[in-house]
Amino acid sequence: MLKHLPATPTDTGSHNSCLVGSLCKVQHDKNTFLVPYCLSNLVSSQKAAFTLAEVLITLGIIGVVAAMTIPTLIANYKKQVVGVKLARFYSTMNQALKMSIAENGQLTFKQINTADSAYLTDWYQKNVTKYIKTIKEEGPESSTSYYKVSFLDGSGFNSYFSGISPDGTQGNRNINIFYCIDYSSCQNGKFDGKNSFLFFLNVSKANIETYPATTCQEGDNQYKWGCATIIQRNNWKIPEDYPIKF
């Protein structure tokens, strides 16, 4: 606390006069105050600086913290992108099918030959993709039975009619769809639960569905049928216990 002292003749003409120890008198107008530190000593004292060792230690700590947190931040961002794109794809495709039903009536699918990609392409163009404006169709591949579409957001899908469901059940007319978050790395018929996911187009119900199972684990395709289902059931967000690591 500052202590007020009466002015004395010795104070006249001196604004700062140091006392013994760490106290000093400071002259302001006609009054003198006792303050904890001498301003003149503070001004003349040597400035503190960091040593090279201290700087290196600090940088090392920052590097360790960054190495621990940045991968987590990147993984969380990728998970968010996956959830957003899956939800958008699911909504966009089902909206297109509703528009198709409203205009054309019930969906019909008459393909018998599983290698007839020309029929599949024509069917998609008449019943699905004509109602979606934000896509680029690559059409059928000459050497395979796949029909391929890329979206403007960098995602896309490849699709084929196999005559059976993904689990091998015979007699279904479901159209398998392999949606890829990054279309540039999309592979025909592959779904890894991280960049590519399995959907199917149920012609009789006229909608896009996830596979009715929750099988999702590291391994071959057969262990990832239900990865999209798990995310869908969590409101299109990657759950904390999601088995595929990002």
- Distance, in Å, from the CA atom of 214 to the CA atom of 149, rounded to the nearest integer, reads 26
- Distance, in Å, from the CA atom of 98 to the CA atom of 128, rounded to the nearest integer, reads 9
Evaluate whether 216 touches 243 at the Cβ level (below 8 Å): yes
**pLDDT tens track of the chain, all 246 residues?**
444 444 444 444 444 444 445 555 555 555 555 555 444 454 444 556 778 888 888 888 888 888 888 888 888 999 999 999 999 999 999 999 999 999 988 888 877 776 777 888 888 999 999 898 778 887 766 666 788 899 989 999 999 887 655 455 555 556 889 999 999 888 888 889 999 999 988 888 888 999 877 889 887 776 788 999 999 999 999 999 999 988
How many Cβ atoms from other residues are within 10 Å of residue 137's Cβ? 16
Structure tokens at 18: 């140091």
Structure tokens at 80: 């968010």
Q: What are the domain boundaries of the chain?
A: 3-44, 81-233
Backbone angles phi, psi at 152, to 5 degrees: -70, -20
For the question of whether the overall pTM of this predicted structure is more than 0.85, the answer is no
- Distance, in Å, from the CA atom of 211 to the CA atom of 173, rounded to the nearest integer, reads 14
Max CA distance (Å), the chain? 115
Q: Which DSSP helix (H) or strand (E) runs through 122?
A: helix 117-127
Sheet holding 31-35, edge to edge: 3-5, 31-35, 24-28, 16-18
Say whether 24 sits in a helix, a strand or coil: strand
